[in-house]
């Protein structure tokens, strides 16, 4: 069911629909909010679809509305991804102001919505869910996030929240665990990882985004992390699934600081490389399981987490990967 909220900018106000955890606006509404003419927005939207920057099926919804003349007409409505994308092309102060407002409104909407379900979830023994949402909220409160990064945190909250909300309809005795991938198509070796980091460093230095200190290992600490990910006991992996290995790899690189510089970027890079090599980076429809914005959000959240929250952080990332199959 849609929820209507009011956006105000000076003397101007407009009703906006929230549905499926995003905002929906028509091209005319977007133009009005951004202070431009409708044809300009329609042109930007057309170019965005033409260059495949966004997928039309996931960002556009056709709804029946009452027009100014009183007749019902079918109209295209666009979600927050499209609103933000067109807003960058308009590049006006009004567009910037709205993007900030939208991110804050959605964060509040989603966090409060999940908070309402906490008592029921706690009764089912899902304390881990509450810890994960609390950690995400702490990250939001502590970080001065850019719009894309804030949208990434929304993606994390929605994905993880949905994975647990599926459990609400079941008794505790009937809960089913998600399916994990135990077959490793690719084993990350220390030498291969170092070569990949060296290539990343080379590309970043070309852009002026890294120094000679980037990726310089501290006394074999990274070698130890790779070894821990593949540690065995009695012939069995202590970290059995591909999802858990990827999540632990990301966590340990970010939190243990095995490199002099670039730990967060290297951790995110190897996390994606590991998933890609194990053919787990994309869903069946070709979309990335964890997009760029969500990756930034996960990296920030991991970096800000406390040591005692390690299991919660890893479990959150694993559940996102499993939920996104």
Give the length of the chain. Answer: 325
Alpha-carbon distances, residue 35 vs 82, 178, 191 (angstroms): 17, 47, 54
HEC profile of 203-256: HHHHCCCCCCCECCECCCHHHHHHHHHCCEECCEECCCCHHHHHHHHHHHHHHH
Q: How many Cα atoms are found within 13 Å in the side-chain-facing hemisphere of 93?
A: 1
3-class secondary-structure state, position 312: helix
The answer on 150 and 86 residing in a single domain is no
Mean pLDDT, range 144-172, rounded to an integer: 49
The answer on 298 and 195 residing in a single domain is yes
Q: Where are the beta strands (DSSP E) in 52-167?
A: 60-66, 72-78
Alpha carbons 167 and 170: distance in angstroms, whole number: 6
How would residue 180 be classed by pLDDT, with cut points 50, 70 and 90? low
DSSP secondary structure of 20-48: TTEEEEEHHHHHHHHTS-HHHHHHHHHHH
| Residue of 313 and 145 predicted with greater confidence | 313
Look at residue 254 and tell me if it is in a domain: yes
Question: What six digits make up the tokens of 41?
Answer: 């927005």
How would residue 321 be classed by pLDDT, with cut points 50, 70 and 90? confident
* Residue entry with tokens 């990250």: 139
| Residue of 172 and 188 predicted with greater confidence | 188
Give the Cβ contact number of residue 282 at 10 Å.
Answer: 13
Single out the residue in 145, 172, 199 at which a domain terminates: 172
What confidence tens digit (pLDDT) does each residue in 214-260 have? 999 998 899 999 988 888 877 778 888 888 899 999 999 999 999 99
Look at residue 280 and tell me if it is in a domain: yes
Pick from 66-80, 165-179, 181-195, 199-213: least confident: 165-179
| Residue of 108 and 88 predicted with greater confidence | 88
How would residue 270 be classed by pLDDT, with cut points 50, 70 and 90? very high
Question: What six digits make up the tokens of 210?
Answer: 């890294």
Can you say how many angstroms the Cα of residue 305 is from the centroid of all Cα atoms in its chain?
17
The answer on 146 and 107 residing in a single domain is no
Give the Cβ contact number of residue 140 at 10 Å.
Answer: 22
Look at residue 209 and tell me if it is in a domain: yes
Report the DSSP pairing between strands 60-66 and 3-9: unpaired
Alpha carbons 308 and 314: distance in angstroms, whole number: 12
Pick from 1-10, 57-66, 71-80, 314-323: least confident: 1-10
DSSP secondary structure of 75-100: EEEE-HHHHHHHHHHH--HHHHHHHH
What confidence tens digit (pLDDT) does each residue in 34-50 have? 888 999 999 999 999 99
3 bridge partner residues: 18
Look at residue 181 and tell me if it is in a domain: no
Look at residue 184 and tell me if it is in a domain: no
How would residue 163 be classed by pLDDT, with cut points 50, 70 and 90? very low
In the predicted structure, residue 64 carries a pLDDT above the cut 60: yes
Domain that holds residue 103: 3-112
pLDDT of residue 197: 93
Alpha carbons 226 and 189: distance in angstroms, whole number: 7
* Percent of the chain that is helix, strand, coil (3-state, to 5): 60, 15, 25
Domain holding 261: CATH number?
Answer: 1.20.120.1870
Mean pLDDT, range 86-101, rounded to an integer: 80
Q: Is 320:159 a contact under the CB 8 Å cutoff?
A: yes
| Residue of 8 and 30 predicted with greater confidence | 30
| Residue of 98 and 46 predicted with greater confidence | 46
Say how many domains are in the chain.
Answer: 3
What confidence tens digit (pLDDT) does each residue in 100-145 have? 787 666 656 655 554 444 444 444 445 555 566 666 666 655 655 5
What percent of the chain stands above pLDDT 90? 19
The answer on 236 and 306 residing in a single domain is yes
The answer on 276 and 202 residing in a single domain is yes
What confidence tens digit (pLDDT) does each residue in 273-311 have? 899 888 888 877 777 777 777 787 788 888 888 888 888
In the predicted structure, residue 165 carries a pLDDT above the cut 50: no
């Amino acid at each position: 069911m849609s929820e209507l909220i009011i956006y105000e900018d000076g003397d101007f106000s407009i009703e906006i629909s929230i549905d499926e955890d995003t905002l929906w606006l028509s091209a005319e509404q977007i133009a009005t909010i951004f202070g431009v003419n409708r044809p300009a927005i329609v042109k930007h939207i057309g170019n965005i679809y033409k260059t495949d920057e966004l997928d039309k099926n996931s960002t556009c919804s056709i709804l029946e509305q009452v027009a100014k003349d009183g007749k019902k007409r079918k109209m295209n409505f666009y979600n927050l991804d499209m609103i933000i994308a067109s807003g960058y092309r308009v590049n006006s102060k009004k567009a910037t102001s709205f993007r900030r407002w939208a991110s804050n409104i959605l964060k509040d909407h989603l966090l409060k919505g999940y908070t309402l379900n906490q008592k029921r979830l706690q009764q089912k023994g899902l304390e881990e869910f509450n810890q994960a949402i609390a950690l995400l909220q702490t990250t939001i409160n502590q970080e001065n996030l850019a719009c894309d990064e804030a949208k990434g945190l929304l993606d994390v909250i929605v994905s993880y929240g949905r994975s647990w909300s599926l459990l609400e309809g079941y008794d505790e005795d009937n809960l089913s665990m998600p399916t994990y991938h135990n077959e490793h198509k690719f084993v990350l070796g220390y030498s291969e990882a170092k070569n990949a980091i060296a290539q990343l460093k080379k590309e970043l230095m070309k852009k002026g985004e890294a120094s000679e200190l980037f990726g310089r290992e501290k006394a074999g600490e990274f070698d130890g992390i790779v070894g821990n990910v593949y540690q065995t006991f009695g012939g069995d992996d202590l970290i059995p699934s591909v999802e858990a290995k990827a999540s632990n790899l990301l966590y340990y690189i970010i939190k243990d600081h095995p490199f002099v510089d670039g730990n967060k970027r290297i951790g995110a890079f190897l996390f994606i490389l590991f998933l890609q090599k194990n053919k787990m980076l994309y869903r069946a429809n070709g979309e990335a399981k964890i997009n760029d914005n969500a990756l930034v959000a996960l990296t920030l959240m991991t970096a800000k987490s406390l040591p005692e929250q390690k299991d919660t952080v890893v479990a959150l990332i694993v559940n996102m990967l499993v939920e996104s199959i």
